[in-house]
Amino acid sequence: MREAVRTGHLAPGTRLPSSRQLATDLGLARNTVADAYADLVAEGWLTARRGSGTLVADRMITRPILARSAADPSGDFCHDLIPGSPDLAAFPRAAWLRATRRALAAAPDDALGYGDPRGRPELRAALADHLARARGVHVSPEHILICAGVSHGLQILSGVLAGRGARNVAVESYGLDRYWGLLAAAGLKTLPLPLDTHGTDPVPPVGTDAVLLTPAHQFPVGTALQRDRRTAVVEWARRTGGLVLEDDYDGEFRFDRQSVGALQGLDPDCVVYLGTASQTLAPGLRLAWMALPPTLAEEAVAAKGQIDSCEVVSQLTMAEFITSGAYDHHVRAARRRYRDRRDALVTALLQHAPKVRVIGTAAGLHTVLGLPPGTEQRVLQSAARQGLKVAGLSRYRHDRSLSAMADALVVGYGVPSDAAWPQALSALVRILS
Ligand SMILES: Cc1ncc(COP(=O)(O)O)c(C=O)c1O
């Protein structure tokens, strides 16, 4: 905190979170935080006034953040608004530990052996039930494959597709280049799909073997695939024998209404469903799952390998976490947290930067902010100078895509802790206004 005040990352007058709130965010005892606050007040870094909380003192700034050189945008950032991660300070450590204890106590000894390459049966059974309930996915546990992230799942599927002689995979014009890279590494060509004001047109050109989509919440643009487009892509798959790869990375986070069910429910025989714990819990768990069409299951299991490459204690814990109801409880709380953050962002922009348009459905952990034409790079530079890490929409564009979207920022509001979020939001709004 001394360093943050000294360098201007914490501006004079900034209100700090209560000691109770910060202790929760940091996983410390409240007294530890209260003692640290008391020391910093005694040293003159902070001021504490009854009724107005703890504030950064006025006179300590020696190097204001605005003085950072524009040529050094990679300097130390104080707020991370890059999409792709939830609030890691909100990981349910205590509940996860309880689930681990219960799961290990109940697990048979052979659970700790090499095991079934599909993953632990307890987790596959729990997921089949949970996914049916929460996402309308229709799958039996024997056709679920546990993997270490959607990335790992796509790596497995790329191998299967290439092994079947596939050559072309259609992808959305905007997305994650790490996925396009995985497909390319297996010798598959990625063909970007056209994009219009309703989002991606998902029916791929002749000669396409599979299509990779984010139907519930297009990444990063944020649109939900419309009903007629959902049926059109499934009909394409039935007609041609093609495969739809559905990346449902944040499907449980829809805020304005009940989330739209997974595409997989329309036809489990031609859609592979990919889900992940990376957005609901933490990417570091490296825990994800695929619901496979029965005709693909054997090849996918063989492509994963002869032994399960995913760590078993996390799998057992996740199974227990789901069946005990702790996962639902956590997702409900997380949904409230991120909905409140999104609402705060929309309200602040309306008030202070009315020219900035919020694009996409009210869902997930990120949103897209449409900027006036020609301003994206300038806004990014200004954000970097002020210690704000944020991405421009152009960063996610496929290099062969025909249509370019207008200038925009992709703002991930999941990463900051509850205590850091208000400051991250004010920094963003200051730049945009
Ligand atoms: C579009 C998309 N898909 C999937 C994921 C999750 O990937 P993984 O499960 O490999 O962590 C993310 C997370 O950033 C994402 O943005």
List, for residues 196-235, the tens digit of each pLDDT value.
877 899 999 999 999 999 999 999 999 999 999 999 999 9
| pLDDT tier for residue 401 given thresholds of 50, 70 and 90 | confident
User: Under 8 Å CB-to-CB from 255, ≥6 apart: which residues?
Assistant: 335, 338, 339, 342, 362, 363
Asked if 330 and 280 touch (Cβ cutoff 8 Å), the reply is: yes
For ligand 1, the distance from its centroid to the CA atom of residue 84, given in whole angstroms, is: 6
- Report pLDDT for 198: 79
Where does a domain end: 277, 305, 324?
324
Backbone angles phi, psi at 273, to 5 degrees: -95, 130
Residue 243 placed within a domain: yes
Where does a domain end: 324, 346, 366?
324
Asked if 182 and 160 touch (Cβ cutoff 8 Å), the reply is: no
For ligand 1, the distance from its centroid to the CA atom of residue 320, given in whole angstroms, is: 23
- Report pLDDT for 268: 98
Residue 409 placed within a domain: no
List, for residues 147-188, the tens digit of each pLDDT value.
999 999 999 999 999 999 999 999 999 999 999 999 999 999
Q: Tell the residue nearest (CA) to atom 2 of ligand 1.
A: 249
Distance CA(330)–CA(415), nearest Å, equals: 16
Distance CA(46)–CA(57), nearest Å, equals: 5
Structure tokens at 169: 């995979």
Residue 76 placed within a domain: no
56 shares a domain with 115: no
Structure tokens at 102: 């219960």
- Report pLDDT for 59: 65
User: Under 8 Å CB-to-CB from 427, ≥6 apart: which residues?
Assistant: 78, 79, 386, 387, 388
Give the number of domains in the chain: 2
Residue 400 placed within a domain: no
For tokens 């449980």, name the residue. 252
Where does a domain end: 324, 352, 368?
324
- Report pLDDT for 63: 46
212 shares a domain with 115: yes
Element (H, E) at 31: helix 30-43
CATH of the domain at 224: 3.40.640.10
- The beta strands (E) that lie in 214-282 are given as 243-247, 271-276
Atom of ligand 1 nearest to the CA of 175: 1
117 shares a domain with 50: no
| pLDDT tier for residue 38 given thresholds of 50, 70 and 90 | confident
| pLDDT tier for residue 70 given thresholds of 50, 70 and 90 | very low
Structure tokens at 321: 């976490």
pLDDT at 294 over 90: yes
Collapsed DSSP state (helix, strand, coil) of residue 219: coil
List, for residues 114-153, the tens digit of each pLDDT value.
999 999 999 999 999 999 999 999 999 999 999 999 999 9
Structure tokens at 328: 């639902």
The average confidence (pLDDT) of the chain is 92
pLDDT at 65 over 50: no
Residue 24 placed within a domain: yes
CA distances from residue 29 to 20, 50, 73, 114 in whole angstroms, order as listed? 8, 22, 36, 40
118 shares a domain with 41: no
Where is pLDDT greater, at 3 or 276?
276
Q: Tell the residue nearest (CA) to atom 1 of ligand 1.
A: 219
Q: Which residues pair with 56 in a beta bridge?
A: 46
- Report pLDDT for 258: 79
- Report pLDDT for 260: 85
192 shares a domain with 45: no
Residue 395 placed within a domain: no
Asked if 242 and 204 touch (Cβ cutoff 8 Å), the reply is: yes
Measure the N-to-C terminal CA separation of the chain; round to a whole number of Å. Answer: 28
Domain of 30, in residue numbers: 1-65
Largest interatomic CA distance in the chain: 74
C-alpha R_g of the chain: 23
Q: Tell the residue nearest (CA) to atom 16 of ligand 1.
A: 84
- Report pLDDT for 266: 97
253 shares a domain with 157: yes
60 shares a domain with 110: no
| pLDDT tier for residue 50 given thresholds of 50, 70 and 90 | confident
293 shares a domain with 236: yes
- Report pLDDT for 157: 98
CATH of the domain at 34: 1.10.10.10
111 shares a domain with 236: yes
Asked if 327 and 130 touch (Cβ cutoff 8 Å), the reply is: yes
- Report pLDDT for 143: 98
| Ligand 1 pocket list (CB less than 6 A) | 84, 149-151, 176, 214, 219, 247, 249, 276, 278, 283, 288
The residue to mutate among 88, 147, 150, 314, having the most atoms of ligand 1 within 8 angstroms of its beta carbon, is 150
- Report pLDDT for 64: 43
Element (H, E) at 210: strand 210-213
- Report pLDDT for 348: 97
Backbone angles phi, psi at 258, to 5 degrees: -55, 135
Beta-sheet strand order (sheet of 288-291): 144-147, 288-291, 271-276, 243-247, 210-213, 168-172, 189-193
Collapsed DSSP state (helix, strand, coil) of residue 191: strand
| pLDDT tier for residue 75 given thresholds of 50, 70 and 90 | low
Q: Tell the residue nearest (CA) to atom 5 of ligand 1.
A: 249
- DSSP code at position 103: H
pLDDT at 6 over 80: no
| Cα 213 versus chain centre, distance | 15
CA geometry: angle at 424 spanning 277 and 340, to 5°? Answer: 60
146 shares a domain with 1: no
Rank 31-40, 77-86, 155-164 by mean pLDDT and report only the highest.
155-164
Structure tokens at 403: 């249509």
312 shares a domain with 206: yes
151 shares a domain with 6: no
Residue 23 placed within a domain: yes
Structure tokens at 310: 């995913």
Where is pLDDT greater, at 332 or 10?
332
Torsion of CA 82, 85, 90, 96, to 10 degrees: -170
Residue 251 placed within a domain: yes
Q: Tell the residue nearest (CA) to atom 9 of ligand 1.
A: 149
